[in-house]
Amino acid sequence: MSLVIVGSLAFDTIETPLDRREKIVGGSGTYCSLAASFFTHPRVVGVVGRDFPRKTLDFLRSRKIDLKGVSIKAGKTFHWEGRYGEDPNQRTTVRTDLNVFADFKPVLPPSYRSADIIYLANIDPDLHEPILNQARKPRLVAMDTIRYWIESKTDAVFRELKRVDIYFANDEEVKLLAGDTNLVRAGRKLLKCGPSLIVAKKGEHGALVFGRDFIFGVLARPSEDVVDPTGAGDSFAGGFLGYLDTVPKITPRELRRAVVYGSVIASFAIEDFGIDRFRTLTPREIKARFGEFKKLVSF
Amino acid sequence: MSLVIVGSLAFDTIETPLDRREKIVGGSGTYCSLAASFFTHPRVVGVVGRDFPRKTLDFLRSRKIDLKGVSIKAGKTFHWEGRYGEDPNQRTTVRTDLNVFADFKPVLPPSYRSADIIYLANIDPDLHEPILNQARKPRLVAMDTIRYWIESKTDAVFRELKRVDIYFANDEEVKLLAGDTNLVRAGRKLLKCGPSLIVAKKGEHGALVFGRDFIFGVLARPSEDVVDPTGAGDSFAGGFLGYLDTVPKITPRELRRAVVYGSVIASFAIEDFGIDRFRTLTPREIKARFGEFKKLVSF
């Protein structure tokens, strides 16, 4: 089993109603690989500048994350700045400095090319093809995308949908891409565009998952303290795919469990700023919270 | 077992993005009692004008709903007009003509006074005390309220919270009343104000239920066609309380099942305009959908 994650390693400057953090480590690849590392040994493809902290790379390696695919370039690391309102589902991008990420040309090291699962985190859809061309028959390809690409490269997003098995997006993005204001209709429309699974993430309202012949829903864990919602979606994908990487056969039952593991990991990620919660998280805590998720919806 | 519902019988004029209906029958008491009638024989306290259709009263009676508490007054029936956006959770009140409802002085007929469960639907909180003073030791008292009363009669709402066991409200109203932007904190705060159960309805996102020592969550049924969201909340309360009226002992397990039955009935109510779906709904459909709700969240 092997999971390759292509995404960003970044600095985030984050403002919440209660606090602010300047240039802490974030990025889709970082969150996703840390989340997945509680299940498998993910491999990351990304790029950082010389200013990216060596001790963060050491931390990732200590979690058995393979960083052979991460290149260090002259220049600065991708920097995103965002602000959250009282409703953590609402966020405003204040500033985006792509820096070395602007010329990101993902290269899969030879040891990554036989990956079973490839996850294309939120990157330019035009990068998908060159990445997938480097891979040998992955068992499963998943992608995420955001409003920016849906609006600026609609055709490319639809072209890439044909090549993936799982499409992750926020509910608003699913509706935007499908051109339908109803999430269920939108999810079903996108199922006809290629993927066999559409995972619509709804933040504090959980997630709805549309398969060819089933719908599955998960509630987010009711939380009194959302410290920092950044990376929740990427952590969800990481937990989801990390778990799937460990199962012998991907069945509807395993997909449901993967969704719950994704939600469990995301529920931890938001308990602290940036990636800090992953520094202390234990398998025992994950197991206990999986049980909590079951209890929450059992009747 | 007996359930008394105090609420409105009304005319609604409803505009959705796709359609419009003028002066069709609605009202919290109407929706709630019809929903409850699939489980028990609810008793209604309300007031209508002479213009209220006799055939609707006949329909309610045919569903074994006791209308002894409904008085017919000279004048016009309460009329509400509202408009829904593309997001069915967002509704705008265009017009409210209280008419005979303005002088509503609820009187419990003698046969209602020993009711086990009393539901105070969205009515002036100052009416609660005179109603409850007419009742003999109900086993359970529940209330709903809306933004209008929370803002105009905050103290009265808090005073009445002390007298009820279950508080139903939309998530936004729970947060508004508790003065907290986080729903979980808000729910827990209100638990300290009297009720032993806070039911926060989240429309298409389901509901979160806060008990003294548990949280339960239910997803709304993913629906492609929300024809008319009016009355979903009242139908939820009706299904919930109607089911509870049938159980020998109110346990956490029965409360969870009641929440699901409430959601099931609400999911039917929104499939047609006004109360029309209740004309054809069968126990077999309810049972099948209860199973669907289980399947939706099982993992």
Identify the pLDDT of residue B257.
Answer: 98
Ordered DSSP codes for A129-193: HHHHHHS---SEEEEE--HHHHHH-HHHHHHHHTT-SEEEEEHHHHHHHHT-SSHHHHHHHHHTT
Q: Is A224's CB within 8 Å of B185's CB?
A: yes
Identify the pLDDT of residue B268.
Answer: 98
Identify the pLDDT of residue B122.
Answer: 87
Contacts of B86 in chain A (CB under 8 A): 181
Residue-wise pLDDT for B213-242, tens only, equals 999 999 999 999 899 999 999 999 999 999
Q: Is B184's CB within 8 Å of A223's CB?
A: yes
Does residue B206 come out as left (phi exceeding 0), alpha (psi in the -120 to 50 range) or beta? left
Contacts of B181 in chain A (CB under 8 A): 17, 86-87
Identify the pLDDT of residue A221.
Answer: 96
Q: Is B224's CB within 8 Å of A184's CB?
A: yes
Identify the pLDDT of residue A1.
Answer: 75
- Indicate the pTM of the whole model: 0.94
Smallest Cβ distance to B215: which of A206, A214, A222? A222
CB distance A47 to A57 below 8 Å: no
Q: Is A215's CB within 8 Å of B259's CB?
A: no
Give the pLDDT band (50/70/90) at residue B132.
very high
Mean pLDDT across chain B: 96
Identify the pLDDT of residue B78.
Answer: 97
Smallest Cβ distance to B215: which of A87, A294, A296? A296
Closest chain B CA to residue A206: B205
The arithmetic mean of pLDDT across residues B79-86, rounded, is 94
Residue-wise pLDDT for A28-86, tens only, equals 999 999 999 999 999 999 999 999 999 999 999 999 999 999 999 999 999 999 999 98
Q: Is A219's CB within 8 Å of B217's CB?
A: yes
Closest chain B CA to residue A203: B205
Identify the pLDDT of residue B264.
Answer: 98
Identify the pLDDT of residue A88.
Answer: 81
Q: Is A253's CB within 8 Å of B299's CB?
A: yes
> What phi and psi values does residue A296 have, to the nearest 5 degrees?
-55, -35
CA distance B80 to B112: 28
Contacts of B296 in chain A (CB under 8 A): 215-217
Q: Is A218's CB within 8 Å of B297's CB?
A: yes
B interface with A, Cβ–Cβ < 8 A, is: 17, 86-87, 181-185, 188, 202, 204-206, 208, 214-219, 222-226, 253, 256-257, 259-260, 294-299
Closest CA to B100 of B8, B25, B12, B231: B8
Q: Which residues contact A56 (CB under 8 A, 6 or more apart)?
A: A25, A30, A275
Closest CA to A117 of A33, A3, A28: A3
Q: Is B222's CB within 8 Å of A181's CB?
A: no
The arithmetic mean of pLDDT across residues B186-205, rounded, is 97
* Interface size between A and B, measured as CB pairs under 8 A: 81
Q: Is B215's CB within 8 Å of A260's CB?
A: no
CA distance B233 to B239: 10
The arithmetic mean of pLDDT across residues B289-295, rounded, is 97
Reply yes or no on whether the pLDDT at B1 is more than 80: no
Tokens of A36: 């997945």
Could you say which residues of chain A have pLDDT below 70? none
ipTM: 0.91
Residue-wise pLDDT for B3-40, tens only, equals 999 999 999 999 999 899 999 999 999 999 999 999 99
Residue A187 Cα, gap to closest chain B Cα (Å):
10
Contacts of B87 in chain A (CB under 8 A): 181
Identify the pLDDT of residue A194.
Answer: 97
Identify the pLDDT of residue B87.
Answer: 81
Interface test with A, best of B225, B295, B297 (most A CBs within 10 A): B297
Residue A86 Cα, gap to closest chain B Cα (Å):
6
CB burial string B7-23: b at 16+ within 10 A, e below:
bbbbbbbbbbeeeebeb
CA distance A205 to A220: 6
For residue A233, what is the enclosing H or E element?
helix A232-244
A interface with B, Cβ–Cβ < 8 A, is: 17, 86-87, 181-185, 188, 202, 204-206, 208, 214-219, 222-226, 253, 256-257, 259-260, 294-299
Identify the pLDDT of residue A90.
Answer: 83
Length of chain A: 299
Contacts of A218 in chain B (CB under 8 A): 297, 299
Reply yes or no on whether the pLDDT at B88 is more than 90: no
Identify the pLDDT of residue B248.
Answer: 95
Contacts of B183 in chain A (CB under 8 A): 204, 222
Give residue for tokens 């109360």.
B275
